[in-house]
A and B are shown apart, each in its own frame.
Chain A
Amino acid sequence: MKVLSEVRKYFANAFIIAELEMRKIRHDQTQIWVRMVQPALWLAIYGLAMSKLNAMSANIPAGLTYLQFMTPGVLAQSALFVAIFFGINVVWERDLGLLNKLLSTPASRSSIILGKALSAGVRGIFQAIAVIILAVILQVHLILNPLAILGTFVVIVLVSMCFSCVSMAIASLVKTRERMMGFGQVMTMPLFFASSAIYPISIMPSWIRPLAYVNPLTYSVDAMRDMLATGNLHSLPLDFAVIIATTILFLVLASLGLKKMIS
């Protein structure tokens, strides 16, 4: 019973921190709208242009158009690009002494990290909604049953959590906003390119393929592609297992880092 109430308290605290983020978004939606611009450009300009390339169409799974193939990739990308800079917030809060205030409440360290990661997930969902709406406008044929959409949201939240934890773990090492900005820049593109987000792994340079297979982004793109585009759910358990495992790993690392960050 004691354990159960501790677990309940742990998640309750994490949700309170996510609630804080939700309330902020409710008061000021500008950044939600602004953040929709980038994925929209990827889909509407890059996507439409690339769908004219024969090489691309020839290598994606049979029966899919390029835009069908790419929409899950843009979903994952939009979550990644926001989450990878999340550590900057934490450095900022540390500099302001906000982190000390948060840590002086009874909430445990890792529940605070989990809460922050969930906040990143909340933001990710809004973008995902925008990307899906845009895809519908562009007449991309997606499987849009409630279960597929729900599954997609779960993946989006997990991807956002995973990479925001990566970002927070790095933030605890580099400790300044400027450096964190640099690290974010350095990480986003390799993670994005070494995944199956905008082209199939089979046409990547061969040396980069192993990277794609250890990149959690690949698995999240794959999961969403299975649910939204192909409808073939065979690899879904593996995808989820990989994403959840890496999220937990980085959650632990970021929680350990938090201790370092304030001392």
Chain B
Amino acid sequence: MEEKAIVVQNLVKQYPKVRAVDDVSFSVDKGEIFGLLGPNGAGKTTTIRTLLTLIPPTSGETLIYNVNTAKNSEEVRRMCGYVPQDVSADGDLTAYENVLISAKLYGMPPKERKQRIQEVLNFLELTDREHDMVNTFSGGMMRRLEIAQALVNRPKVLFLDEPSIGLDPNARRIIWGLIKKLRDEFNTTIMMTTHDMGEADVLCDRIGIMNRGKLATLGKPEGLKAAVGGDIITINSNNPNCSLKLKELGYSAITDSADGNFDLIVNNGETLIPHLLEGLKAKGVVVESVSLKKPTLDDVFLKYTGARIEEGDTFAETRRARQSFTRRS
């Protein structure tokens, strides 16, 4: 069997009051971008912290490149890079110094150090600002610097916690480009968490959705979306018999609202619309407008986690999430 970059095997983490992770197993291939999604409190952070050797598992085991994270933690830490969700670059230092301290903490030999730092600053397009104080940086630059800090050691596995939270759309696109480039050029395995389903869809090769400590589902974004079931066609018509006529054509509307909107769940919505419209026209129903909605990862997320995206937030988590928003923008 080919060696995996990350293996999580029957992981359980029990805290005095909650079972944060409840028998979770999955693996990530080398060079894969893997997204761990789920509401706050679902167990994503606990899983990542276990992989980063910050907390020991209650039972089960986690491996990075076949090295047990609980037993050989230092070896694991040397292979990994971590970019936390919050601002973690030191504002009272220059960009160069921030990366320098990281390089030193990863035990990089002085001879290589200088060149590696230049390489990584160059990769993240920060070279022209390397000697500026970080507290003058924009949110996007700060994020890039934090990634530079994690990359200077050339990690085999990079952990990104909400990589684009609080960034404007332009900065976000730049970060996305970098993450892809990193995987394509260096075959770095990337594990990320995000609340942004668009981001997960754009970046991730595979996605695992966690809910209440369990892995609710796992798969490629396209597969997950297809599995949610069908496209939604919404037809607007003033004809009071529309619902009936639809039934005669073999469709049943899931909603039949007073303002004349009828939602149908179908497969391959694009090819079906012309037939549907012809059928309705033949039955004398005038259609005012039609719209097609393909399922998104939002729908996948909602299906597997229920509508409790806000429910699991503790006060501290909410405060943190909002703070990182205000701090970056």
Contact = CB atoms under 8 A, between A and B. Distances in A.
B133 interface: yes
A106 interface: yes
Contact of A100 (B49, B87, B101, B105): B49
Nearest to A27: B92
Given A96-B88, A101-B88, A106-B77, A16 B82 contact: no
What secondary structure prevails in chain B residues at the interface with A? mixed
Interface string A236-249: 00000000000000
Contacts of B295: none
Interface in A63-102: 95-98, 100-102
Interface in B49-83: 49, 52-55, 74, 77-78, 80, 82-83
Contacts of B74: 106, 108
Interface stretch (A18-26, A34-42, A145-153, A181-189): A18-26
B105 A106 contact: yes
Contacts of A17: 105
Contacts of A97: 84-86, 88, 161
A24 B106 contact: no
Nearest to A25: B92
B55 to A, nearest CB: 5
B54 A105 contact: no
B146 to A, nearest CB: 8
Interface in B81-116: 82-88, 90, 92-94, 97, 101-102, 104-107
A202 interface: no
Interface of A: 9, 13, 16-17, 19-20, 23-24, 27-28, 95-98, 100-108, 262-263
16 contacts: A16-B105, A20-B93, A23-B97, A24-B93, A27-B94, A28-B92, A95-B320, A96-B84, A97-B86, A97-B161, A98-B84, A98-B88, A101-B82, A104-B52, A106-B77, A106-B106
Given A20-B90, A98-B86, A105-B102, 13 more contacts: A16-B104, A27-B94, A96-B86, A96-B88, A97-B88, A97-B161, A100-B84, A104-B82, A105-B106, A106-B77, A106-B105, A106-B106, A107-B105
8 interchain residue pairs of minimum CB distance: A97-B84, A105-B105, A104-B82, A24-B92, A97-B86, A16-B104, A104-B52, A106-B77
